[in-house]
Amino acid sequence: MALTANSHAIADEKKLVVEAEARYRAEYEVYATKPHETAIILMHGKWGSPPAPLDSNFSTQKFYVVSPLMPWARVSGYDKTYEQALVEINKLVIKLRAQGFKKIIIGGQSFGANGALAYAAVYGDVDGIMLFAPGHNPDIDKNWQPGFVSEAKKNIKEGRPEQLITFTDFNDGSRQRTMEARSDIFYSYFADDSLANMSKSATKLKVAIPTTVYMGNGDYVTRMGSRYFFDRLPNHAKSKYQVSSASHREVPQASFDDALEWLKGIIK
């Protein structure tokens, strides 16, 4: 009896798999690029770790998702400059292209969104950008720390880039941590002329890339409005900017359904 019941369970499971595959083929039959032919690089937020928010959500929809460990992770503690971090992302993009993925989307939450925009500004070799509650703003918010930036710049100029800077790192929800980082590394994330300045990154994009942005209405940067960085991006018909009522860390989940429909429009 148990064997028969088990056989029925296996048969039912196989049937569900076949039905799911049939629905997938039917839904994406007319699409130029299918989800399984699309790679998404998702970066986690400050003090976070892989997998990034929405990793499993997009994976369930058959997109190929990669969530790399970034230097702003809790375990990393700013162990690479921003430029070095983006070099690693570029290697990943090149690898994904070589593996045959037709489209590559880059995105992230909070600091990860900052990273996605910075990557697009430097390399521009992606097909779409998804930004969820972008954060870390060394030019306008608590992470604007000109005294430490000046000290780091002086150390670099005097040939001492390895000199440590002890600073307070601020995160959403009034969280803060005392941290240390090399002067050159600190400067790359906290100088207002660094890659972390999203307003300046937006002006550096050389081509128009479809970009979807979901802001949390309680975030400081949201008060700046779309003019802060979104309006500075090269115009694209499929770009969109929305403000969510969700909290900073809830924005990705609250925005997933809309982001999925936007993504379908990019690959269609």
Task: Write the CB contacts of 240 (distance below 8 Å, at least 6 apart in sequence).
Answer: 211, 212, 213, 262
pLDDT at position 187 is 98
Q: Is the pLDDT of residue 153 over 90?
A: yes
Query: What is the overall mean pLDDT for the chain?
Result: 94
- Measure CA 42 to chain center: 5
pLDDT at position 204 is 97
pLDDT at position 16 is 65
Q: Is the pLDDT of residue 23 over 70?
A: yes
Tell me the pLDDT tens digit for each residue of 88-127: 999 999 999 999 999 999 999 999 999 999 999 999 999 9
Domain edges within the chain: 1-30, 36-267
pLDDT at position 2 is 53
pLDDT at position 213 is 98
pLDDT at position 141 is 87
Q: How confident is the model at residue 28 (pLDDT cuts 50, 70, 90)?
A: very high
Q: If you average pLDDT over residues 157-170, what whole number do you get?
A: 97
Cβ–Cβ < 8 Å for 190, 108: no
Q: If you average pLDDT over residues 167-184, what whole number do you get?
A: 94
Q: Is the pLDDT of residue 5 over 70?
A: no
pLDDT at position 236 is 98
Q: Is the pLDDT of residue 14 over 80?
A: no
Residue 33: CA atoms inside 13 Å, Cβ hemisphere, count? Answer: 18
Helix then strand then coil, in percent of the chain rounded to 5, is: 45, 20, 35
Q: If you average pLDDT over residues 154-159, what whole number do you get?
A: 98
Q: How confident is the model at residue 174 (pLDDT cuts 50, 70, 90)?
A: confident
CATH hierarchy code of domain 36-267:
3.40.50.1820
Q: How confident is the model at residue 244 (pLDDT cuts 50, 70, 90)?
A: confident
Cβ–Cβ < 8 Å for 171, 219: no
Task: Write the CB contacts of 184 (distance below 8 Å, at least 6 apart in sequence).
Answer: 81, 152, 156, 161, 162
Pairing of strands 175-182, 164-171: antiparallel
